[in-house]
Amino acid sequence: MIEVIYQKGLYLPELDLWFDPRSPKPRAFISHAHADHVARHSSTICSEVTARLLRDRFRISAERVEPQPFHSSFTDKNFRITLLPAGHIAGSAMIHITRLSDQASLLYTGDFKNRPSRTAEPIAFAQADTLIMETTFGLPRHRFPETSEVENEILTFVRESFAQNKTPVLLGYSLGKSQEALALMHEHDIPTLLHPAAASMTRSCIAAGTPQLPEPLEFDGHAPEGHVIIAPPHVMRSKKLLGLKAKRTAMLSGWALQPGAKFRYGVDEVIPFSDHADHPGLMHCVESVRPKRVITIHGYTREFAAELRALGIEAWSANGNDQLEFHFNRKS
């Protein structure tokens, strides 16, 4: 097996490579351009789209980035490395690593989604001996409705808001959900205004080649009748949005599945519109990769690992307390 060390992050000593570390490292793989996966490393491996987003969003210079096309392998220190689409957001990537001396292999998923997407590249799994996977929604009760059902729920919210002479406001991250929601509105010819942060990321996605996205129109505090507003959740109480006297708000989040989510977020509706795999999607990942061992990260790591062990699969949480029988190094 390829050695993996957990040392306030995941590290492959043979390659001297980190996976999505939170602090700057000499060399790291960044799976996608969400802020909680990004740091200013001396050298960064990422997809070509993510390289563009890192430059535009975080001002990370080209000299620090090694952009790689999907499905095209390169060799480093007797390892073959291939980036595969993760389906999470535009440019999101998994990294597949094979040691050439004995063909031992590893797949690190980062955040991933295996449901259909309008703006993220379709996910592509590959078999690996070791699977390191995110388990954000790692409990059996985390089961999202079909994509068409969720999209119809969004469209119904929008149309009901128009019928009440109110402006519908869809709340989702400026990178990822904002583009997915915009593509849905565009497909149904619904005029849409984007918060400046979402508009900026949309322009970067368009420049990077993301399909099905129209040129964004920015929300300046005024919304003509019949327009939708898409904005990141953290600006929900900003002056611009508070200035809309007649509006309805909907949070786009996988956590809509939790009881009381509408009241916790303080919105009119919550809609289970997620860019992560749900529990069946996580199981599909394991079935597709057919690993000899699984390491879980993020979310319900111990619970999902225990479920896999009950199925006869060697599986352990990277940062939990369940590795006593596992040849897996953990350093604080």
Residue linked to tokens 């068409």: 148
Please tell me the distance from the alpha carbon of residue 9 to that of residue 105, in angstroms, as a whole number.
20
Domain 147-271 has CATH 3.20.20.80: no
Q: What is the CA radius of gyration of the chain?
A: 21
What are the structure tokens assigned to 239, written together?
Answer: 């002056």
Average pLDDT for residues 129-150, to the nearest whole number? 97
From 79-83, 183-187, 320-324, the region with the lowest mean pLDDT = 320-324
pLDDT in tens, 176-189: 999 999 999 999 99
CA atoms within 13 A on the CB side of 307: 16
pLDDT surpassing 80 at residue 325: no
Name the helix (H) or strand (E) containing 288.
Answer: helix 279-289
Domain ranges across the chain: 5-141+276-331, 147-271
Contact between 294 and 307 under an 8 Å Cβ cutoff? The reply is: no
Model confidence band, residue 323 (pLDDT cutoffs 50, 70, 90): low
Contact between 70 and 83 under an 8 Å Cβ cutoff? The reply is: yes
Please tell me the distance from the alpha carbon of residue 224 to that of residue 76, in angstroms, as a whole number.
55
pLDDT surpassing 90 at residue 144: yes
pLDDT in tens, 177-232: 999 999 999 999 999 999 999 999 999 999 999 988 999 999 998 999 999 999 99
Identify the sign of the CA torsion 80, 83, 86, 87: negative
CATH number of the domain located at residue range(s) 5-141+276-331 in this protein: 3.60.15.10
Contact between 20 and 29 under an 8 Å Cβ cutoff? The reply is: yes
Q: Quick one: 122 exposed, middle or buried, by C-beta within 10 A (0-12, 13-18, 19+)?
A: exposed
From 118-132, 234-248, 298-312, the region with the lowest mean pLDDT = 234-248
What are the structure tokens assigned to 201, written together?
Answer: 């990321």
DSSP 5-56: EEESSEEETTTTEEES-SS--SEEE-----GGG----SEEEEEHHHHHHHHH
Model confidence band, residue 321 (pLDDT cutoffs 50, 70, 90): low
169-182 b/e (C-beta count within 10 Å ≥ 16 → b)? bbbbbbbbbbbbbb
Identify the sign of the CA torsion 63, 65, 66, 68: negative
Query: Mean pLDDT of all residues in the chain?
Result: 94
Measure CA of the first residue to CA of the last residue in the chain; give whole Å. Answer: 22
